[in-house]
Every structure is written in C-alpha cells, then in structure tokens.
Structure 1
Amino acid sequence: MRLFHFSEEDNIEIFKPRVKANRTNMPPVVWAIDEEHQFTFFFPRNCPRIVYTKSPQVQAQDETKFFGNTAANTIITVETQWYSRIINTTLYRYEFPTESYILFDETAGYYISHETVKPINKIAINNGLERLMNMNIEVRFTPNLYPVRDQLLESSIDDFGIHRFEHAVQL
C-alpha cells in the first residue's frame, strides 16, 4: 500500500497532526489518501468538485442519467471558473511511510495518523487533467455544481465524494 498527501506547497518537511476545519470533533491527525483514490486530489486544494463512480447498486434510470453518454466509470465535475487554476497549478504529491496509519474511510481511501509524519518522497504534478484522461476518468465542467450535487444526493449512486463544496459558487 502507498499513501499520499497533495499540496500546493513544495517545501513541507514534516506533517504535524492538526484538527481539520470540517472535522473539529476529531483529534489532531495527519491525513493521507491511498494510491487507488489519489486521482481525486489532482486539483488545487480549494477546487470544489464532485466525484462519482458507477457501481452495481446504481439503478438503471440513474445509470442512464449520470453515465448514459460516456464509457467512463468515474466522472469528476468541476466548476468552469476553476479551469485556468487547474491547468496552471503545480501540485506536490508527498508519499508517506505507512506504519503509523490506520484506515479512516475505505470508500474514499482516507487514512489517518496521530503521529508526526516525515515524507519519504515528493513529486511535482503539472498535468492533473492529462493524468485523469489517461486513467479513463471523464472530467466535466459546469458553471454551477449545485444541480449536480442535488441530483446526485437524490440518486442511487453510492460511491461518490463532494470535495471542498464550501467554495462552490452559489448562483
């Protein structure tokens, strides 16, 4: 297993446990994402996005509605206004040793450590959209994520993530 953390900062030498702003009920931790789910972080940190994947539980009408005109099994929808930032932002993928990590959310691929973590590797990523396309993940752009979120929450899709939605534009 490999675990990663994505950042726009290129000079992080250690990661100290901290309380996450949207999980203040948790103790301080260092977050990581597994290799299988790392693609959900090929975006600038605060970029609002919705990621959903086809699964056997998806009902026929929802499969047609969300996947009817694509061969992709995973779709990421992003607000149009973020396009320039996405293609112009360099991300840094820090790799972590796995010893102190425990599984937090299997569906999302999230792991946590209560200890300070020193990265074992770092690479720059300048081409997140290209990487996604090479993984056969469809990226869609829309002026407003609210309709997608609302329809998704009313659907039978059970494998999804809504990231940084507090930064989504309210029209």
Structure 2
Amino acid sequence: MNLFHFSEENGIEVFVPRVKENRKNMPPVVWAIDDVHAFTFYFPRDCPRIVYTRTNEMSDEDHEKFFGLTSSDIIVTVETDWYERIKRTTLYRYKMPSDTFQLFDACAGYYISPQTIIPQEVEPLTDLLNRLMLLNIEVRFTPNLHPLRNAILNSTINDFGMHRFANAKGN
C-alpha cells in the first residue's frame, strides 16, 4: 500500500508528529493518505472543496440530481476564486513508509503515525486539474460552496468529504 503526504513545501526531510488545529483532542501524529484517495489533495492546502462519490445507496432522486449529467463516479467542486491558484500551484507528493501508520478513517483513506517519519521520496506535481481529469474525476467550479454543502447534507449521499470548508465564502 502506498501512503502519501502532500505539501506546497518542497524539501521536507522529516515529518514530526504534531497536533492538528482541528483535532486538538488527539495526540501528535503524522498524517498520510492512501493512493486511492490521494486525488482529494490535488489542491492548494487551504482550498475549500467538496468531494462526493456515486454509490448504490443513493436514492434515484439524488442520483439524478447530483450525477444525472455525468458519467464520472467522483465529482469535486471548488469555489471559482480558487481556479487560478490551482492552475499555478505545484504540490509535492511525499511517499511515506507505511510500516508505522495505522488506519484512521477508511472512507477518507486517512492514516496516522505517532512516529517521526522520513519520507522515501518526493515528487513535484503540476497541472493538477488535468491530473484529476485523467482519473475521470469531474471538476466543477461554483461561486459559493454553501448551496452544494446544504444539498449534500440533506441527501442520501453517504460518501463525501468537505475539505477546508472553513475557508469557503460565507452564505
């Protein structure tokens, strides 16, 4: 299994466990994501985005509402103001040794380690939108994510993530 950590910072030689700002109830850890879910981090760190996946558990009405005009099984929606920054961003994908990591969230593909980690390799990633499209992921842009957030929370979609939503525009 491949595990990765994404950063806009190049040259990180050591990952030291730390407490995340939004998870202060947890001990210090190093975070990683599996290769299946890595695409959810093909964005600048602070970019608010909603990722949702087609599943068999969705109602027919929600299937039509959210996936009726696409053949993609995964849709990522981002606020329009982030378009240029996404186009300009170079990310660095750090490959992490998996031996000390434990599964934290299977749905999101998150893994954590209490150990200091030395990455095995680093690879720069550019042309992030094209990378997503090559994975058959539909990328949508909207002026404001709140209407989509509200619609998903009131739907039968059960495989979704709302990343950095605190950075989304207000209602």
User: TM-score, normalization: structure 2?
Assistant: 0.99
Aligned residue number for residue 168 of structure 1: 168
Aligned residue number for residue 6 of structure 1: 6
Helix, strand or coil at the partner of 1:56: coil
Helix, strand or coil at the partner of 1:108: coil
Using the alignment, how far apart are the partners of 1:65 and 1:135 within structure 2? 22
Alignment of 1:116-131 (within 5 A): 116-131=116-131
Deviation track 1:71-113 (CA, whole Å, cap 9, x = no partner) reads 1100000000000000001000000000000000000000000
Q: Which amino acid aligns with 2:7?
A: S
Query: Offset of 1:127 from its aligned partner?
Result: 1.3
Q: Which runs of 5+ in 2 are unaligned?
A: none
Aligned residue number for residue 151 of structure 1: 151
Using the alignment, how far apart are the partners of 2:18 and 2:107 within structure 1? 23
Aligned residue number for residue 49 of structure 2: 49
Q: Report percent identity of matched pairs.
A: 58
Alignment of 1:126-137 (within 5 A): 126-137=126-137
1:89 corresponds to 2:89: yes
Q: Spell out structure 1 runs of 4+ moving beyond 2 A.
A: none
Aligned residue number for residue 17 of structure 2: 17
Using the alignment, how far apart are the partners of 1:89 and 1:131 within structure 2? 13
Helix, strand or coil at the partner of 1:17: coil
Using the alignment, how far apart are the partners of 1:23 and 1:128 within structure 2? 28
Q: Which amino acid aligns with 2:81?
A: Q
Q: Which runs of 5+ in 1 are unaligned?
A: none
Q: Which amino acid aligns with 2:18?
A: R
Aligned residue number for residue 59 of structure 1: 59
Using the alignment, how far apart are the partners of 1:2 and 1:109 within structure 2? 11
Using the alignment, how far apart are the partners of 2:152 and 2:22 within structure 1? 21
When the two structures are aligned, how many residues end up with a matched partner?
171
Query: Offset of 1:11 from its aligned partner?
Result: 1.4
Deviation track 1:50-91 (CA, whole Å, cap 9, x = no partner) reads 000001101100000000011110000000000000000100
Using the alignment, how far apart are the partners of 1:56 and 1:26 within structure 2? 33
User: TM-score, normalization: structure 1?
Assistant: 0.99
Q: Which amino acid aligns with 1:90?
A: T
Helix, strand or coil at the partner of 1:62: helix
Query: Offset of 1:31 from its aligned partner?
Result: 0.2
RMSD: 0.5
Helix, strand or coil at the partner of 1:141: strand
Using the alignment, how far apart are the partners of 1:22 and 1:127 within structure 2? 29
